[in-house]
Structure 1
Amino acid sequence: MVTQILVDTMPTPRDWRHGGRQQGTDIMPRNLLTGEQDMARQTVQAAQDIFLSHDGLDGPQLIEQNSMYVGTKTEFTDATAEQILSNWESLPEWHRNELIRHRQELSAIFNGEDDRIALVVGPCSIEDIGSAERYIERMAKLQEQVKDHVKLVIRLYGEKPRTQAFDKYGQPTWWGKLAHPDPNHREPKILDAQSVVEFQGLFAHAARLGLATATEFLNVEAMQHLAHLPDFIAVGARTVGQSKYLQMAKALGKLGAIIGFKNDLSGDVQPAINSVQGISHDNPNGIVVLRGGERGDKTNFENWNQDQYIVGEKQVCVDVCHGNSNKRLSRTKEILGAIIGKMRQGLEFPRSIMLESHLTEGTLNKDNNAHSLTDPCLGFETTEAWVMELAEAHKFTLEEQRKWAK
């Protein structure tokens, strides 16, 4: 069944001056500079123009496939690519330079030219901007401590593809803050203007503090406003192989972005491998992300370095959550321990890891916005301890390799 949905109404200039739709709130993130605020307002106006191009309040159509929400029907076109490139050119020079640096370093890691580990880490999804800012600030301090061994890539996920379109109460499932800014009021939308600006602020905040970022896009409507900002973009298990994401990946080759294609929900890696190969002419920075699935996890040693998982001699990224952990934190910790153990034994280990982490451990506590609203995450203190241990193990491994090289 295909369902028509309503798009959110845009804030007016009066909304900006008087705190948005909710009394006492500030629509503009505190971390945006004056010039960036002006650019953000222009982005919202552009978003409004796009929404008004649809008939009345009817937004793009949803695709409901086997009861799974897999995005809107809007395709990624040449005009979408041009909009993303225009957004890139409009960034302040310092911001572009930071993004170029991060993307070059990540490319070097995945090509085996940089010995460090790329750790894609952060909340499963972001519901509260303030807690996300605090997480970024704490991770920036941690990055400074481990910079010689681990490159942190902070997850800033605003869209969430869902296995079910509706929850057990018949309400729409939460599709992420970009669609549902208030998870307690899930009127069907595609994109919320205030949330777009807030996420632009988060990406700028991370870049200003020297951090690389990652996200996953579901809809073209979000790509055209945000796809120029993250350094690492995942294509999820539910959407891998779809045309719009391949077109996005090709277009972002001009910006040097890393695209991580996950194996599908069944655990089949071939769709991810095909995707990496399919974009290689336009974007050489495609990689495979092993996230597990119905066919079992992808975390044992044999799976990390099998030739079928390595395209063009690139390293893979091992997701220690999702299908690999069956969404159990205890299993995530076991996998991390196994990776670190292999490093200390001098065995082969993945050069990139994906980990879900937030300020507070756990999930689904709407009374505490430091929790993840979706999948369970490690708390910050636990994450910090694991990252420090990972860095120490990496240091040990490099020292042992140097000894053997003599």
Structure 2
Amino acid sequence: MAQTQVDDLNIESQTLLTTPRELKAKLPLSDSARETVAAGRQAVRDILDRKDPRLFIVIGPCSIHDVDAAHDYAARLKKLADEVQDTLLLVQRVYFEKPRTTVGWKGLINDPYMNDTFKIEDGLHIARKLLLDMAEMGLPTATEALDPITPQYMQDLITWSAIGARTTESQTHREMSSGLSSPVGFKNGTDGGLDVAINAMLSVRHPHRFLGIDSDGKVAVTVTRGNPYAHVVLRGGGGKPNYDSVSVALAEKALGKANVSTNIMVDCSHANSNKDPALQTLVMENITNQILEGNQSIVGLMVESNLKHGNQSIPADLSQLEYGVSVTDGCIGWDDTENAIRHMAAKLRDVLPGRKA
């Protein structure tokens, strides 16, 4: 009697990937890259611990789709970072994975050639090489930890990690974050609610045990120590911003009541800019003024910025892509980026050292 198939009914195929150990052997950390990562993480930790009065700003393209443009942006950002380093710690946003509400381009790792070929092996190599290049420039990097497998391939190059609004409530992502080597920011929910981020922060500081992969790609029971450097990222939600002084004060109160870190990072994009990239600079100005008026809790910002303003759809003919323009969320252009960062640094240079711990 023929047996009825009951397993893998909807699996078309599976292809073995290079292991994390193999990829790291092909693209190893140089001494200079290792120093960039270590120094960047320590600087963010010191800011979160209030040992360093600077703000840290995660800034860069909504997503990386063009490696040449990413290198171009990084070279400009490194120069700007050196200019304002006494006041602001600039960390380049290098997002390789994009959560989709339904379907769409999922990012450089999943589909590096933007043609639905899903050459993930190539994507991992391209992404790691880009992170290495930036680290060797002396530029710390940040990313969103979306796929729970990917950190094994990339986390040794990441200074700061984000957990997005769609995944902050996910147990998988909370467990994963408890083992990340970098500080991690949890965004509030898409509805604007803070509870999911607070619960995530309560969870992530504890040890966890879960299924993951080891450096050789084998399924393993992963035991974490817990991550003491989790904090909230206010990104608005439900069609409303939450970066204003009243919202920030309410967040401080809720975080304090829950006995979690009252450090606050503000995402200048998403609902906080009403999805209009040009409004991000107004959010930056507002945050600057809050600090000038005595705010003690805001320690970081996130800004979506690219070589050119706005965004574009992915065309069928990829040769028609406009250089330096986002293919996901709209970004401010480089000129506005430089002006906003310099303006913020100039206004806060003499104020930040006097902030209370």
Local SS of the residue matching 2:349: helix
Name the residue aligned to 1:149.
87
The count of corresponding residues between Structure 1 and Structure 2 is 317
Structure 1's consecutive aligned runs of 4 or more residues displaced over 6 angstroms after TM superposition are none
Name the residue aligned to 1:48.
17
Moved more, 131-140 or 298-307: 298-307
Structure 2 unaligned segments of length 5 or more: list them: 1-8, 207-225, 315-320
Local SS of the residue matching 1:195: helix
Moved more, 119-128 or 319-328: 319-328
CA distance in 2, matches of 1:387, 1:331: 14
Shift of 1:3: 6.5
Shift of 1:204: 1.3
The amino acid of 1:258's aligned partner reads P
Shift of 1:365: 5.3
The amino acid of 2:237's aligned partner reads G
Local SS of the residue matching 2:126: helix
Q: Give me the TM-score of the superposition, normalised by structure 2.
A: 0.81
Name the residue aligned to 2:157.
229
Name the residue aligned to 1:360.
308
Moved more, 154-163 or 207-216: 207-216
Query: Is contact 2:278-2:332 (8 Å) kept?
Result: no
Name the residue aligned to 1:283.
227
The amino acid of 1:135's aligned partner reads Y
CA distance in 1, matches of 2:86, 2:191: 37
2:348 paired with 1:387: no
2:162 paired with 1:216: no
Name the residue aligned to 1:123.
61
Q: What does the per-residue CA deviation read over 1:229-274, in whole Å, with 9 as the maximum and x for residues that have no partner?
A: 211111111111212212221222xx3x111111111111111111
Name the residue aligned to 2:43.
105
RMSD: 2.7
The amino acid of 1:383's aligned partner reads T
The amino acid of 1:186's aligned partner reads D
Q: Give me the TM-score of the superposition, normalised by structure 1.
A: 0.72
Moved more, 236-245 or 353-362: 236-245
Q: What does the per-residue CA deviation read over 1:108-166, in whole Å, with 9 as the maximum and x for residues that have no partner?
A: 1122221101101010001100000111111000011000000011111010001122x
Moved more, 234-243 or 152-161: 234-243
Local SS of the residue matching 1:238: coil
Q: Percent of counterpart pairs with the same letter?
A: 29
CA distance in 2, matches of 1:143, 1:103: 16
Shift of 1:98: 2.3
Query: Is contact 1:110-1:314 (8 Å) kept?
Result: no
Name the residue aligned to 2:116.
186
CA distance in 1, matches of 2:294, 2:62: 31
CA distance in 1, matches of 2:290, 2:168: 30
Query: Is contact 1:111-1:314 (8 Å) kept?
Result: no
Q: What does the per-residue CA deviation read over 1:83-129, in whole Å, with 9 as the maximum and x for residues that have no partner?
A: 69x88xx6334333321211111011122221101101010001100
Assess, with a 3 A threshold, how the Cα gap between structure 1 residues 121 and 381 changes in structure 2: closer, same or farther. same
CA distance in 2, matches of 1:4, 1:314: 45
2:228 paired with 1:297: no
2:190 paired with 1:265: yes
